[in-house]
Structure 1
Amino acid sequence: MFGFAAGTKKCKSRNYPVNDRSNDNTAAIMEETARLNPSIHTIHIDSLPEGWLGKNHALAKGVEQAKGNYFLFTDADILFTPNACSKALTYLKKEQADHLTVSPDLRANSLLLRGFISYFLFGFSVLKRPWTANRSKTAGGMGIGAFQLIKRSCYQGIGGHEKLKFRPDDDLALGERVKRFGYKQRLATGLHSLSVEWYPSLSLAFKGFEKNAFAGLNYSVWRGLFAVICLIMTQLLPYVFLFSSLHSVQIISALNLLLLFCLYAIAIKSLTRCSVFIIAGQPIYALLFVYMLMRALILTWIRGGIEWRGNRYPLHELKQYYKNSKED
């Protein structure tokens, strides 16, 4: 596992890659990179304290070493254009904001996976309403793990990663705390500045979703079942009703699908670099999404928690920590 935090001061950055118990060549690569670049200061973690998730702990350790007035949290596999960070810092200061999170271009090697990614972003937008991040008087908040630039004063004011140590959705939770504590937040798209291969295959995407499914639904089984039912009713059943013997039902179903395609197209144009014609595969992507959600919910329920990076985290502890984090 690999976390990354950067501290900036007077536009000069110090980078703190954190090696969290990796069992591959991560440590050697980090040390060689640091030898060639004096701005890089490596941190190696051998053990995980009780009550922490690995990534959250890694980011917290990076912050302990970082200097300056701004922190940038990102993942190791994000590709940046040369001026991405300077543009983000300029925008943050121009907006007089405390926190800026940026959505990257999610790349995929196959048409099916690109379509599924676009549909996931569409569903995420409907569920979390990310545009509310830019509305000061609206509740919500947004955080995207690919890029989170935050003022030191804001980070400390919301309690840092100490308050997120047992949250699998730490990126989103950080953004929500920023908004809840009254700080100014901005969300931007960085489709031409940041990119990442989300998952190399559908099977790995399904596996990765196991970690965040319940977190995104507030660890509620009933909320999960309700989400599945709503997806089936609004995204799939209208196709069946198109063949109804009742003319009125056919018209209502057609209008429902037309509205669905319009909203889906807006999400594609706003959040991806995919062709808008990818909406033609919507029923296939909807079926895959329902399968992924049901699979994640069932596995989490059977296991009694989530499994991540070789560790198992009990569901009752995740629920309790989620409840406590919402109350402080």
Structure 2
Amino acid sequence: MLFWIYLLTTVVWMVFLIDFMTGIRKIPSLSSAGLSDSEEYISVIIAAKDEETTITQTLESLIHQTKSPDEIIVVNDRSGDRTGALINEAAACHPQIVPVHVTELPEGWLGKNHALYLGSSKAAGDYLLFTDADIHFHGDTLRYAMKLMEKHKLDYLTAAPDLQARSLLLKGLISFFLFGFSYLKRPWTANDPSSNKGMGIGAFQLIRTKAYQHMGGHEKMKMRADDDLALGQRMKEGRFSQMFVSAKQHLSVEWYPNLSSALRGFEKNAFAGLNYSFLLSISALFGVFVSQILPFFLLFHSDPSVQIISFINVLLLFCLYILSTRAFTTYPLWLAAALPVSAALFLFMLARALILTWLRGGIEWRGNRYSLRELKQDFRDTKEDSD
């Protein structure tokens, strides 16, 4: 029985590997089209909550772009630290920085989504760039992005940054997350006009203002914890042209400073990524265990045929893992040796997130609690609105 199960799994991994090797070629780099000399008005919109350790660096990296944004609207979303003061200090030195301070969160909104909506309502640009308060922009990032927009007549461009991490354990966890992301989300399909799949990375979402307004903006996804993915999907469903690119050399971010922060962050995103479905979540837990952890144990099975098919499974896993790590990170490839450990840690994170969500009846994020009922309702409303 085990032999036949893992024979089928082998076929699945082979399909995934071929699909990845074919699809990854369809993801260009941000700099692939060259530099733009465009004078288009760009409004950058940043939602910031308790970002005192990163906000100044982010703003400075934007100001010192070779094509500096015309305005940078920074929405301080009820921060309890010095974020608001640092934004004001930066605005005093750079007139294009526009501080906006939020003191209360309206009912029916996630904080970040409301901040981005508020920032967009104040923007004057022909293009809007939604980004995070901890992103570092390298010198020509905006000029490269605008060249892609011009060359391919895009309405929307999203870019994957270099995800920096301090510990090897955290790097392994991020690598495993991107490994799963690559074969489940197939991000290259966003670049196929005939596909109905969109893509959104919160670190960099450049969009034509008219297209953003036409599809309803963030007001149409008030409670979506996966607001970046939702924005990309809505753009695709609205038949706006889009592109997903790699920007490892142009954007960088420390996604999480440590493992405990990653655990907390996963609480917000795990259930959203599984469509708020407990059945789908249990299936995901079972699937990861059977396909990506158990084969390592079966290498020591008493049946030689099970050993052989398990070895083939493990070999295919390593191949796909190494390819995705090379494509989406700057981490050393020898981290692939920790694949089973990273898989087990990911399984623990997912199980923990689901149990906490179930016990709390929702998610807790940055000082706010959001019920599962309202999250599910907003998810359904968003899907119905886009259909």
Q: TM-score, normalised by structure 1?
A: 0.96
Asked whether 1:243 is paired with 2:300, we answer yes
1:12 is displaced (CA, Å) by 5.1
Partner of 1:183: 240
Unaligned segments of structure 2, at least 5 residues = 1-46, 50-54
Task: Choose from 319, 324, 327 the match for 2:381.
Answer: 324
1:298 is displaced (CA, Å) by 0.5
Asked whether 1:112 is paired with 2:169, we answer yes
Partner of 1:229: 286
Quick one: distance in 2 between partners of 1:143 and 1:60? 16
Which moves more between the two structures, 152-161 or 291-300?
A: 152-161
Asked whether 1:212 is paired with 2:269, we answer yes
Asked whether 1:267 is paired with 2:324, we answer yes
- Matched position secondary structure for 2:148: helix
Quick one: distance in 1 between partners of 2:208 and 2:129? 9
Asked whether 1:258 is paired with 2:304, we answer no
> Where has structure 1 moved over 2 Å in runs of 4 or more?
3-6
Quick one: distance in 2 between partners of 1:37 and 1:93? 28
CA RMSD between the two structures: 1.6
**Identity rate of aligned residues, in percent?**
54
1:68 is displaced (CA, Å) by 2.0
- Matched position secondary structure for 2:70: strand
Partner of 1:145: 202
Partner of 1:27: 84
Partner of 2:341: 284
1:158 is displaced (CA, Å) by 1.4
1:248 is displaced (CA, Å) by 1.3
Which moves more between the two structures, 240-249 or 263-272?
A: 240-249
Residues 8-47 of structure 1: pairs in structure 2 closer than 5 A:
13-47=70-104
Quick one: distance in 2 between partners of 1:33 and 1:311? 28
Asked whether 1:2 is paired with 2:48, we answer yes
Could you list the per-position Cα deviations for residues 45-69 of structure 1 after superposition, in whole angstroms to 9, with x for gaps in the alignment? 1111111111111111111111121
Residues 117 and 12 of structure 1: CA distance in aligned 2, closer, same or farther (over 3 Å): closer
Contact conserved, 2:222 with 2:378, CA < 8 A, in 1?
Answer: no
Could you list the per-position Cα deviations for residues 250-303 of structure 1 after superposition, in whole angstroms to 9, with x for gaps in the alignment? 111111111111111110111000111111000000000000000000000010
Unaligned segments of structure 1, at least 5 residues = none
Amino acid paired to 2:100: I
Quick one: distance in 2 between partners of 1:158 and 1:252? 49
1:85 is displaced (CA, Å) by 1.2
Quick one: distance in 1 between partners of 2:197 and 2:354? 24
- Matched position secondary structure for 2:71: strand
Asked whether 1:84 is paired with 2:130, we answer no
Size of the alignment, in residue pairs?
Answer: 325
Residues 32 and 11 of structure 1: CA distance in aligned 2, closer, same or farther (over 3 Å): closer
Amino acid paired to 1:222: L
Structure number with higher relative contact order (C-alpha < 8 Å, ≥ 6 residues apart)? 2
Quick one: distance in 2 between partners of 1:247 and 1:23? 60
Residues 53-132 of structure 1: pairs in structure 2 closer than 5 A:
53-132=110-189
Partner of 2:353: 296
- Matched position secondary structure for 2:346: helix
Asked whether 1:305 is paired with 2:362, we answer yes
Contact conserved, 2:285 with 2:350, CA < 8 A, in 1?
Answer: yes
Quick one: distance in 1 between partners of 2:142 and 2:168? 30
Quick one: distance in 1 between partners of 2:69 and 2:330? 32
Amino acid paired to 1:63: S
Quick one: distance in 1 between partners of 2:129 and 2:73? 10
Amino acid paired to 1:174: L
Amino acid paired to 2:159: V
